[in-house]
Each structure stands twice: as C-alpha cells, then as structure tokens.
Amino acid sequence: MKVLLIGNGGREHAIARALIRTGAHSRVLAERGTPLELFAQAGNPGIDRIATPVDFGDANPADPNSSDAIAQRARDLNADLVIIGPEAPLVAGLADAVRAQGIACFGPGKEAARLEASKSFAKTVMDEAGVATARSFTCQTMDEVDQALRTCTTPHVVKDDQLAAGKGVLVTADSDAAREHARHCLDRPDGAVVIEDYLDGPEVSLFCISDGTHVVPLVPAQDFKRLQDANEGPNTGGMGAYSPLPWLHDGLADEVVRTIAEPTVRRMAQRGTPFTGLLYCGLAMSSNGVRVVEFNVRFGDPETQVVLERLESPLLDLLDAASRGTLDQVAAPTWSDDAAVTVVLASPGYPVRARTGQTIRGAEAAEELPGVHLIHAGTKSVGAAQDSEAHATLVADGGRVLDVVARAATIDEARRAAYEAIGRIDFPECQFRRDIAQWPDGLSA
C-alpha cells in the first residue's frame, strides 16, 4: 500500500515514525496483502531515513497554484492514501485536488479547513453548533478594537483572524500592547482580529479523528506555548508537551466528543462542507467548565510527538478509515500506560528571527539512552554523498529544530530521560525550556 505524506517538519516525522512503528498489526495492510510503502515530501533528514523522499520540484504544497501538480504527483506514484500534515496546504485546497484525482486523502478540504484559517469563522460554527467558547468580537477597524477591549474581560486576548503559525495570539494585561498587536493584524491585506474574553484554567489539547460523520478521540496532552520557563516570554508554536495528564478527569475525551467535536462535525456536514481529518480541540479547563480556546485542522506540534508515542494500535488503520468514511468499522485505538515527554530545541532568536546554520552534534549519543528518540523539525544534512549519510553534518535549518522525545513508566522518569538526552546534544546557543511536564506550574501552560 502506497502512502504519501505531505509536510517535512516535526509533526510529519512523528506521523511517519508512528505509521511504521504501529504498522505490524494493520488490518488495512493485512486485507490488501501488501506491505506499507511510505513516501514523504523530501527535505527532513529524519523522515528521509524511514520513507522514500519525493521531490515536488517548484511545486509548493502551501501554494494553491501547486495543488493540482502535487495531486498529479500522487497519481503518478499510484498512491492509495495521501496524508496532509501542515495547515497551509489544507487551507490552500490540496485535499480537494487529491480527492479530485480519485485518491483517498486524510485532511479536510479548503472550506472545512476554514475552522483553522479563520478564527471568526470557527466562532460562527461553534455558535451554530452550541459549542461552549469564550465570548468574542471580530474587528476590522481600530474603533471596533477599542470597543471590544473595553467590553471583554482582562487580561486581553487578541487573536489574528488568519493563519499565524501558532504565534498570532497575544494575552496581556497591557492595553497598549493589545492595541498594537491588533493594529499589526489589521495591517494585513483583508486583516481582521478577534478579541475575546479571557478563559481561566489550564489548557489541554485533544485530537479527534473524523470521517465526516463519526468521531474518534485520541488521548489528551498538554503543550507549553511560551518560550521561557514559568510561562514567560513570547508565544511560540510550542516548546514541549507531555501525556498523560494525571490531574485531568478520566471522562474528558468522551465529554469533548459529545459536546464539542460531534456537534462541530455535524454542523460542518449540515453546511455542506463535511470535515474529514483531524480536528484539534484546544481546550480551557475553566472555572465554568470545558471551553474551546481554538480549533485546528491537523495534528498539533509538539503534542503529536507524545500522543503518537503512546499509541499501540495501527495509526494507518485510523487515518485510512477516516479518509474513506468507515471510521465506525475500526476498533478503538489502544494506548500504552507509559508516559511521554518532548522538549523542543529551538534556534537562537526564535520566534522573532531565528538564526540558523549551527552544527549540531551528539544526536546519536542522545538516542542511545533507553526510551529516547529525536524528531527532526528544522534540520538539514550537509556534506554527505547522495547515497550515504555516513559523513553528513546535521545543521539547524529552522526555528524549532529538534524535539527530544522520551518514553518511560512515569512522567518524572520520562522527563529526566529527555533532559539527560539534551545534555548530550551540542547545539550552540539553542533555546529550550527546563520546566516541561512539571506541575503545578504546568497547569497554567
């Protein structure tokens, strides 16, 4: 069975690794009587070691003008399933182009992807579906911004209405800073900004897989968005995560499916834009109950690294069934009792202006530790022959560069292993948090 994975970041490396690691007992592969042939968008040294790299040439998956060319490439490969990892290709309509070629695709179409592409659209759908979230106002002028800031609770929550790579949200008690962030958002072409009430309580990420009708939850995780320890510094795409969450009540996943995911999926179908793929529910455990902070339409990064590390049943079966509308025919996923922790190593200057090009040493030594592996998020190999990495040098090539993932019987053991592994990595001037998976501080991550 040929599977093409779109995306070459940390999330996609984690997906590729899980597809292979959990594939031994895949019902899909057994029924087809074929092994898994995994192809992946070229450009990630970690993925390139476990999947066949596919070069799209000048075609960019995030460019709507490239969608047809990439879909044709999938057809040329005789792909049976395409898995789209990042949000930008989904928002560009790549899933629609793939399906138009008659190929099964895991990922929502362009209209359904608006749940992430537009905060205001997501709020509208939540309101129509009766999903609990913060009161909000969509603003297109500074006069509207000022009125919304006066109306909403503090601290101020100001969100860019468009995609912003996880860095478009500002939470601040400083009105001037809130206005400046709003002004920056409005300066974009067709700019808009969403201002909403602050939701108290810890935040939790729950991934829900949908085939447009049925919903299957994965296990909760918690990520750490701020750059620095004790939740200081600017927002990032995520500096670490852990799972399970011992402080969380056991019934959360079922509650979220019943009150959030299923009503949202049902409402999207009623709108004529069925949602097929991964609905990421960013949740606040507020004093008034569970509230939606945001929706995303793909696996979250770095939560994917810890959630999929705990998955024991075949990931391929879930994603394939979701793409074909048969999710109700797949057994519920099974999970390890082990804990998983990931810590992100980021380039100096991230998230404002990352400085790249640093040589990274010690990756092999880090992975010699029991239960530890590295996920490549923003690296490249240089100096190696095309057919060998024996003499390759690993170089930083992005903002978030490496995810150090550790799995152990307890969160404390996994956390210690992750930081011991970091101690073996020589990455000059890298940034990382030293308090991932700690609580009570972690409760406000």
**Would you tell me how many other CB atoms lie within 10 Å of the CB of residue 349?**
13
Question: Does residue 374 carry a pLDDT above 70?
Answer: yes
CB 193 within 8 A of CB 159: yes
Question: Does residue 320 carry a pLDDT above 60?
Answer: yes
165 compared with 254, residue with greater pLDDT:
254
**What mean pLDDT do residues 273-294 have?**
96
Helix (H, G, I), strand (E, B) or coil at 394: strand
**What mean pLDDT do residues 12-23 have?**
98
CB 46 within 8 A of CB 379: yes
267-283 residue pLDDT tens: 999 999 999 999 999 99
**What mean pLDDT do residues 88-110 have?**
98
CB 328 within 8 A of CB 214: yes
- What pLDDT shows up at residue 392? 81
Integer distance in angstroms from the first to the last C-alpha of the chain? 40
Question: Does residue 443 carry a pLDDT above 70?
Answer: no
224-239 residue pLDDT tens: 999 999 999 998 999 9
**What mean pLDDT do residues 422-430 have?**
97
Question: Does residue 390 carry a pLDDT above 70?
Answer: no
**What mean pLDDT do residues 367-390 have?**
84
User: What letter does residue 108 receive in the DSSP assignment?
Assistant: -
- What pLDDT shows up at residue 165? 64
Residues 6 or more apart from 45 whose CB is under 8 A from it? 376, 379, 380, 381, 389, 392, 394
Q: Kindly indicate the confidence band of residue 442, based on its pLDDT and cuts at 50, 70 and 90.
A: very low
135-161 residue pLDDT tens: 999 999 999 999 999 999 989 999 999
Question: Does residue 75 carry a pLDDT above 80?
Answer: yes
**What mean pLDDT do residues 11-20 have?**
98
Query: How far apart are the C-alpha atoms of 139 and 292, rounded to whole Å?
Result: 20
- What pLDDT shows up at residue 162? 84
**What mean pLDDT do residues 212-217 have?**
98
- What pLDDT shows up at residue 278? 98
Residues 6 or more apart from 443 whose CB is under 8 A from it? 202, 247
Q: Kindly indicate the confidence band of residue 444, based on its pLDDT and cuts at 50, 70 and 90.
A: very low
**Would you tell me how many other CB atoms lie within 10 Å of the CB of residue 385?**
9
- What pLDDT shows up at residue 59? 96
CA atoms within 13 A of residue 227's CA, in its CB half-sphere = 17
- What pLDDT shows up at residue 5? 98
Q: Considering only CA atoms, which of 321, 291, 284 is closest in space to residue 444?
A: 284
